[in-house]
Structure 1
Amino acid sequence: MSELIETDAGGPRFIHVDAKPDHLASLARGKPVSALAELVWNALDADADRVRIGVTDNDLGNPVSIEVVDNGLGITFEDAERTFGSLGGSWKREHRVTARSNKKMHGRNGKGRFKAFALGHEVVWDSVYLGNNDTPLHFVISGRSDRLQDFEIGKVRSAPMSRSRGTRVRIDSLPEPFGVLSSDGSANRQLAETFALYLRNYPATEIIYRGERIDPASVQKSHETVRLPAFIAADGSEITAVLDIVEWSFSKKERRICLCDSEGFALHEVEAGVRPGTEFNFTAYIRSDYIAKLNHDNGLALDELDPDLRRLAESARGALRSHFRRRKAEAASELVQQWKDEGVYPFTGDAAGSLETARREVFDICALNVHQYLDSFREGRPKDRQFTLRMLKAALDENPESLKRILSDVLELPKEKQTELADLLQYTTLSSIIEASKMVADRLQFLTGFQELLFRPDTKKSLRERTQLHRMLENETWLFGEEYLLTSSDENLNTVLRKHLAKLRPPEKGTRRRAAPVVRDDGTQAVIDLLLAREVPAYAQTRREFLVVELKRPSQKIDLEVASQIQSYALTVASDERFDVRNTHWTFIAISNEMSPEAARTVRQQGKPYGFFHQEDNLRIGLATWAEVIAASRARLEAFRSRLDYTATTDQGVALLHSKYARYLPESFLPQQVDPSTA
């Protein structure tokens, strides 16, 4: 990015960042602790070995200002103009390590300073650095969230005697209370997660939050490092990685996998997708040069679209499952010895081979859950325990996976959750609960697999709208809203109208309706891809609403010609005299992967709903991309997804499409044979 610098003789300098305001605004958004971490990274990259984070609270205990102070090299006046006047050209790209301490550097994109505005509307950078002849110099940079394109750089003066070299960042006018940053918030624990590997590599570095040093080791229960299997990437290069599994002594809701460079710098996060049980609170860190390369190429944010990164993440998840299975078995070992002493343990002797060892580990985990949550088992007679353990062993031998999941999930429920489940079963059946949960999980898997089908380069080119895409969507109309039901698919418009006209306006008794064709202005008949309908009860007469979806193959971009086509379809319907315009409402929409800039402008007009370029009382015509439709569907499912604590992986989504719609999928999307030697 270029910069424009205006100078007032003898006064401050004003720097203008030549970037679009909405882009800068997107950089200035983020979670409070993530934004705070960016400021700490900036300090560490400036060679600081001590960073102090101070938070000032009001009388109600809510944070009102934040100050981040470091003892680094400070921002020089010359660097300030270059750093604050540009975007994406960070000086850090030219340096891999810090100048004074030779520590690995984190940031390279020159965007971290904007994250400060996610914390407050007013930000001041107060810098002391050494000028010529090691003279301490001092100046101030200030900015506001309502003017992200402009920074003011004050005059350089001699530094006060009380100031040492380094930078102070002060943030005022916080937009909300930020409870996570309060004295009893979880910011200190989240910072420990973020900087765990860095502080392990550089133990002399201090990060102090609200007067207390961030010490990840003090809140860690364990730290294990696992080398993941190497594999060959799509470009022929070898990908190697190491997985660090850190278990914490504090409770945390989110289980994350941090994607890091080889030094442990967290560059991106994905959901862990592993549920080992409520007794395990962990964060996993994948360290790999491949992740650093993706980050350098701005490809990390598209993690689900990179097959090699997906394979790396799935390998890490497999290692996590093995780790926690072993950890649970270790926790059960003392109890197992007690059962052996009582003579109630159903296995005898040592395990013969790895298969038998794994079998016993699964049994021990399930038996431990029974012991923890069933008072009658724990406090009963040894003979009763022996009978229960033998039954458990028999059930595991017959159907191990199902029993393991049922026991580990149901028996791990806290008492209050068990009560809630019992109350719920008074109003519905367990099978209905399972069916509803499975429906949500299936839809999440479908969305993930469908997104992969639409946007993967090879299938995007070969996917056909009528014989493939269209046939799958006939059974997935919930994508367009739960209120609609499919009524017609891939039929001539005249056929559709004949089918529905009897409902819309019944013929008079003793008369026959003339089947007049419905044609467009050019005399051709339109074909409707998907017609969805719903009825809305109203006074005196039922209101009927129809949604017509015009599907385009993923490789065809929606442009003005497509907009004209869908408008032609829609106006044909709206002008037909057989419809009761007061009680019949139509929505026509064309959907594909991409939209031309010209077409996009037509659906972003002032005074019209977003996504629609034509609106009348009974007719709306619009355009949409699949990304928007999928995002809207995910948003509707988010409340259920968060409660289920479930994230569908791409592999699960693709597997669902294979099981339900194999005959409609392009050949390039069908399962490929994998060489076991490379798996």
Structure 2
Amino acid sequence: MSAAVPCLEIRFHGRVIEHLGIDMYQSPVAAIAELVSNAWDADASQVDVTLPDNVKSDSARIVISDNGEGMTLQQCQDRYLNVGYNRRRDRESDRTPAGRPMMGRKGIGKFAGFGIARFVEVDTTSKETGERTVFRLDAEVLIDGSSSYANSEPLTVELIRHEPADPSRTKDHGTVITLQGLSLKQRPPVERFRTSMARRFLLLERSDDFKVLVNGATISDIEDVEKIEFSFPRSYAEYDLPVPAGLEIDGEWGVEKLSDGSRIRWRFVFYREPIGDDELTGVSIFSHHKLSQRPFIFNLSGGLGGQTAIHYLSGRVEADFLDEQDKDLISTERQRVNWDVDETQPLLEWGRARVQALLRTWQDLRARGKKEAIENRIRPFSQRLGKLERPERRVVDKALLSLAKLPAVNEDQFADLAESVLTAWEGGRLKSLIDELAEAETMDSEALVAILMQSQVMSALHAAERVKSQLNLIVGLEERVKRRALELEVRDYIAEHPWLIQPRWDTFKVERGIDPLVKEVAKAVYGDAWNARVDLVLSSGSQLLVVEFMRPGLKADWDHLNRYERYVTRLRTAVIASDSQFRMVTGLLVADHIDRAADVASKVQTLRSQDMDATDWPGLLRQARRQWEAYFDILRDRAPDDSRMQQLAEGQAEPRSISAED
């Protein structure tokens, strides 16, 4: 009698696979995390995740390989291909053979791969027998337009390879899951993927015998310490704060008992800047090292003291009891806990109280830290403050402290506000507002809006006054152009203050580092006349701006424009060849006049399309004036009802003289 031909089949498919795989696990982190948790339950000591360079390639694949206990052919049939297989019930234990708390509970995570791939190939070797089984599942075949959740007839699974038991193969035990036919639009960033995996599992903090690698690098669950401002419960001692009753501190973690006797562990951290990442912001709940509740704030809403602190908060709570109840308290996709049942109320109440207390503590600590920063920042202004009468100085100091308590203001914003307050007081502005600031014990949202609005007015006024000054200078230059009195000294002044004629050049600075290269290219293009030209080379980041001022009285004709084009083009080539930091070279030619011929005008348009502008002095100043006026209009719109701004807007720009000594 011949031996039976090995085969595998699956009875549940159709919409079950679509719902439990494709619909629930469309994130690569969520899908692969489920497969990693299966490796944990298989007592693997190492899991290797390999991500492809190009997910759009037909040959792209994601591979999850572990050295766990593996499966025999019969176990593949009874466990893997049995939808809803309950490992805990089958083994009559919630622990793995090695004593680990099991992560898997519902027996559906194995289909998570279908959320990001069409094909799931399983290659598994049993640690017990050395039997090897390789099979492949095709989501399209499994679904096949089915509208039912269960088919009465089993579906044969593609069995690629089966090797019978062999003791010599037991050393190669483990399982390799290969996902092919990927549906991802782009490859997940490896570093972000690694940290996201770590945040989901908390495995590295508690398990020395389990290692996860992504493209050969171990995932890390260690936060960037430099970005963390406060870490509780450790910060209670660091800042001499009272420790809540009943709290035991175990290293970085707090240990407490809830009102029903359940034991939890927790750690909350506040970052220096808003987190801006939904996966981190708020408090996550874990059970047996696996995510049970996505980040939230225990359903708190409205009227919270220090409410802005929520955007800086990332917390973790280990509540294993949630996964040890007779009924499921955790949703199937392990994204949320059922907070409407009696069993979860003690944790919910504890979380609300702890979060509210820490939000207030964060606000107080930030104010304390900013007060110290105030003292450091005020020190350079001591001479200015010393000129104030003692009562005035006390008012300004108290006003700055009130500003320091505004949680929505980061360090850079606070520095600007503090400078604005000091300058406004010295100038006799907004004294009533500063008095109010000094008297404010707390700052609600309406007061904060008022402060920020006044700060906006102050900033807009200061900027508008500067813009008006620039406009006056430009008017003066326009008068000189009309009188043909634009002497070389004025050109030199413009060369040293390029932002005067182009607001967008405000970030540029004079670049001396490539002077030899500029001279070499100028000699090659202009010959003996190169030294008679007035050149200005500016830089900002990776961009170079070359400004050529033609000598007074000269008209830019076709020949001038051709030489200018060769000059900028050759300089571009030379700069790139020099392996410098600069990757973009633009040009501007300024002359007393531009030839009016049609071919010259066409040449100018062509050059402009290649980032090589050419203009005369009237055109340059006209454009500069329009830009500064547009900038002024923007500033005026920030404080349209302010009387001082209205006076600036109504005042006509007056010509201002300029000399090389300015």
What TM-score does the superposition give when structure 2 sets the normalisation length? 0.49
* Rg comparison, structure with higher value: 2
What TM-score does the superposition give when structure 1 sets the normalisation length? 0.48
